[in-house]
Structure 1
Amino acid sequence: MHKFVLTLAMVCFAAASTSAAEVVGISPNKPESGPFVKIDEGYMVPYEITIPGTDVKLKMVPVPGGTLKLGSPESEAGHTAAEAPEMDVEIEPFWMAEHETTWKQYKPYMELYQQFKKFQAAGVRKVTDDNKIDAITAPTPLYEPSFTFEHGEDPELPAVTMTNYSARQYTKWLSGVTGMQYRLPSEAEWEFAATGGSKTAYHFGDDAEQLGDYAWFSGNSDEAPHLVKGKKPNQFGLYDMHGNVWEWVLDQYSEEGFARLEGKKLKALDTVAWPSEPDPLMVKGGGWDDDAESCRAASKMGSSDEDWKQEDPNVPLSPWWFTSYPSTCVGFRVIRPLHEVEKKDADKFYRPEIEFLNLDVGDRLIEGRGILGLVDPELPAAIKESE
């Protein structure tokens, strides 16, 4: 039932069957082939969009709902206390990017810094108290690009070294210009997608012997990240869920695991450890420099501003960029939930309630070393007009 194989034909079918009156990614008709998820509104199908204002494509794959046993059993090789106790979580269907965010997809967001500065100088598209809910910060230009681009900047390489905050702001930009709600996944959503619907350590089983068929990790990567989609996808049609780069999720990392959730009936967002401290924040899935056990679906790691910004020449340190290993192994991918939340409630996806972080960003804006800009469907036309 859940044999998901993404094909170009299916993507084309999704585009052809979706009229302006329908929801992108939902077909009223059952597809004749390829992956789909049956829902009340019809059928969730893969879709591809061009990000407005760019020539960049984004492919999204439907992930079916189901029940996840979040975490791992003590018997699993590589198990840590942070993965316990196992918790049953109900997962609603969502779409997930078929691969991690690439430099081709991330650089248009990076370019917004200069564009927002132009708007500010021209006195147009001003951010006010009334429209601030639609504003983001764009990442400042790289002070020393060699840190971030240590392994190159091929358009199909996964983008790396962005902070969790910057990844969140990217998803808000994407949401604003498309009119659809994109965000980082919760740990539970990410883990369910990584398992491909299986109940094992990896989507293909518990034995890591096959990992090289599906992942770039320390056993085969030659100490560098690789172009996305270079290995086989999992059952849902998702690439690189194991290895290549670690991926940001919404959660704060804690060695205490899921003890706070015991005895509760849970949906994915109920499980989120909403961040209140700058670190450690959570990444999932392992990277090109990690061993097989670190690439398990339940595996996780916490960030460290002190270590990951060790070579940052900025004072104070950048809210948007890391510079140092292992951040060179850290990226992210986006999801789109089937059911959106109200805009006011979505703010927690994009701007975590971390007092130190928000004060830091605020100081940057006051000093002119950061910039706010509005992200909405009119942004691409405004950029084109200003050129």
Structure 2
Amino acid sequence: MKPITLLAALIAVCAFCLAGSNCLVSAAELAPGLAKEKPAEGPSIKVDENLYMVPYDFRVPGTEQVVEMIPVPGGEFMIGSPETEADRQEDEGPQVRVTVDPMWVAKTEVNWALYKEFMALYGIFKEFESSGKRSVTDANKVDAITAPTELYEPTFTYEYGEEDSQPAVTMTQYSAQQFTKWLSLVSGQQYRLPTEAEWEYAARAGTTTAYSWGDDAGAIDDYAWHFDNSDEGQGKVGTKKPNAFGLHDMHGNVAEWTVNAYTENGYADFADKQGINATEMVVWPSSPSPCVLRGGTWEFDPEDLRSASRLASDDEEWKADDPNYPRSPWWFTSDPSRGVGFRIFRSYKPLAKDTITKFWEPQAEDTLLDVKSRIDGGRGGMGLVDPELPAAIK
């Protein structure tokens, strides 16, 4: 009998993780970000007897890109801002008590070096399609993603730079979702966008103040790229001070996608559900926009970078210069989208399959139709993603 290799064991474990099974405790020696002993230094979170969540780096298979993930403890907090907070907006309330499970959060926003690896899949998928390799069928489509088409007008997206260490910008929520599905299926772990509640919890890092460092915006230059200190676009990720959880750029630089639809009435729909879990406090989008971004951008004033501040996307305005029909499901073409980016999250306990699918796939019918139109017309690239993809690319 052929011996089972470590790689095969990892793939087997990952298959259970992606299916939503709680396999982390039994496979602690294999799961990234877990240790059987408390490390002598650095952050750690005890999640079971002799089991700790710890920071970890992972190299995205098939690339040289490394992502740093930071453990964030579970707990409770009040989402939104109190009525007494300066510069508070009506859509930041009413405050709701939320329960948050332990999770890992990327130390920084997704940068160009990594996002361009995802962008490159478009050409690869088109080559597979023309050669009949790794064909997508109705039977395996569940494991397929679409890759963003080539930029219609690169000078817009790259006007303020495309350095490896700058955060990637101008992608739609759908494109960010597909990125996290690619990362998950190729690595065997559930990476995804956050819910609004998870994002705000991670940004606050235990604080109840307007910013993660306090109520006074005077210290903002130490923590954020914003309108007054960044007139040349987004700054390099991780160059400002982190919050108490060790996360950089939660305020400013680029606004970060969540999976939530924007609600003008704030959290009124959840006011009678105090203690709701952060992964369940979601209004899933029924249309491509408006959806919620958090953290503010390098173009915003300090008051719009508060922990509770919300930004509603606007497809009509943000795609105003897109001459295509239907307009691209993957890219924005107009400001303020050069301040739009994202970071990745991962739950300690894998989410159920039907739940994680909602994080990876669009819920809006219009988005699904636009994607289908592009793919059917040969203007989109779709391909299968699994652990064998990197070898197939080579």
TM-score range, shorter chain: over 0.9
Aligned to 1:380: 390
**What one-letter code is carried by the residue in structure 2 that aligns with 1:302?**
A
Q: 1:114 aligns with which of 104, 123, 128?
A: 123
**CA distance in structure 1 between the aligned counterparts of 2:228 and 2:152, rounded to whole angstroms:** 33
1:269 paired to 2:298? no
Measured on the aligned residues, the alpha-carbon RMSD in Å equals: 1.2
1:124 paired to 2:140? no
**What one-letter code is carried by the residue in structure 2 that aligns with 1:122?**
S
Aligned to 2:321: 311
1:20 to partner: Cα distance: 8.8
Deviates more, 1:107-116 or 1:313-322: 313-322
**CA distance in structure 2 between the aligned counterparts of 1:31 and 1:365, rounded to whole angstroms:** 48
**CA distance in structure 1 between the aligned counterparts of 2:99 and 2:354, rounded to whole angstroms:** 24
1:51 to partner: Cα distance: 0.4
3-state SS of the aligned residue for 1:312? coil
Aligned to 2:160: 151
1:302 paired to 2:308? no
1:315 to partner: Cα distance: 2.3
Aligned to 1:97: 106
Q: Is this contact kept in 2: 1:137–1:373, CA < 8 A?
A: yes
1:256 to partner: Cα distance: 0.7
**CA distance in structure 1 between the aligned counterparts of 2:118 and 2:232, rounded to whole angstroms:** 28
Q: 2:380 aligns with which of 359, 370, 373?
A: 370
Give per-residue Cα distances to partners, 1:294-325, cap 9 Å, x unaligned. Answer: 10111011011111011112222100000111
1:185 to partner: Cα distance: 0.5
**CA distance in structure 1 between the aligned counterparts of 2:363 and 2:105, rounded to whole angstroms:** 25
Give per-residue Cα distances to partners, 1:120-165, cap 9 Å, x unaligned. Answer: 1111211122211111000000111011111010010000000000
1:223 to partner: Cα distance: 4.3
Q: 1:338 aligns with which of 335, 348, 351?
A: 348
Aligned to 1:31: 39
3-state SS of the aligned residue for 2:280? helix
**CA distance in structure 1 between the aligned counterparts of 2:317 and 2:354, rounded to whole angstroms:** 34
CA distance 1:245–1:176, change in 2 (3 Å): same
**What one-letter code is carried by the residue in structure 2 that aligns with 1:328?**
R
**What one-letter code is carried by the residue in structure 2 that aligns with 1:115?**
I
1:40 paired to 2:58? no
3-state SS of the aligned residue for 1:34? coil
Q: Is this contact kept in 1: 2:167–2:236, CA < 8 A?
A: yes
3-state SS of the aligned residue for 1:128? coil
Give runs of aligned pairs for residues 162-181 of structure 1, distance below 5 A: 162-181=171-190
Q: Unmatched 5+ residue regions in structure 2? A: 1-26
**CA distance in structure 1 between the aligned counterparts of 2:344 and 2:130, rounded to whole angstroms:** 32
1:283 paired to 2:293? yes
**What one-letter code is carried by the residue in structure 1 that aligns with 2:285?**
P
Q: Is this contact kept in 2: 1:26–1:44, CA < 8 A?
A: yes
TM-score, structure 2 as length reference: 0.91
State percent identity of aligned pairs. Answer: 54
Q: 1:81 aligns with which of 90, 111, 133?
A: 90
Aligned to 2:10: none
**What one-letter code is carried by the residue in structure 2 that aligns with 1:156?**
S
3-state SS of the aligned residue for 2:244? coil
Q: 1:202 aligns with which of 204, 211, 220?
A: 211
1:344 to partner: Cα distance: 3.9
Aligned to 2:18: none
CA distance 1:130–1:21, change in 2 (3 Å): farther
Give runs of aligned pairs for residues 314-329 of structure 1, distance below 5 A: 314-329=324-339
Give per-residue Cα distances to partners, 1:237-280, cap 9 Å, x unaligned. Answer: 10000001100001001111111111113000221111111110
Give per-residue Cα distances to partners, 1:70-114, cap 9 Å, x unaligned. Answer: 000111112111111000000001001100000001000000001
3-state SS of the aligned residue for 2:99? strand
Q: 2:63 aligns with which of 54, 64, 68?
A: 54
**What one-letter code is carried by the residue in structure 2 that aligns with 1:98?**
K
Q: Unmatched 5+ residue regions in structure 1? A: 1-18
Deviates more, 1:19-28 or 1:83-92: 19-28
Q: Is this contact kept in 2: 1:102–1:158, CA < 8 A?
A: yes
Q: Is this contact kept in 2: 1:162–1:331, CA < 8 A?
A: yes
Q: Is this contact kept in 2: 1:68–1:188, CA < 8 A?
A: no
**CA distance in structure 1 between the aligned counterparts of 2:281 and 2:232, rounded to whole angstroms:** 34
Q: 1:22 aligns with which of 14, 25, 30?
A: 30
**CA distance in structure 2 between the aligned counterparts of 1:348 and 1:235, rounded to whole angstroms:** 30
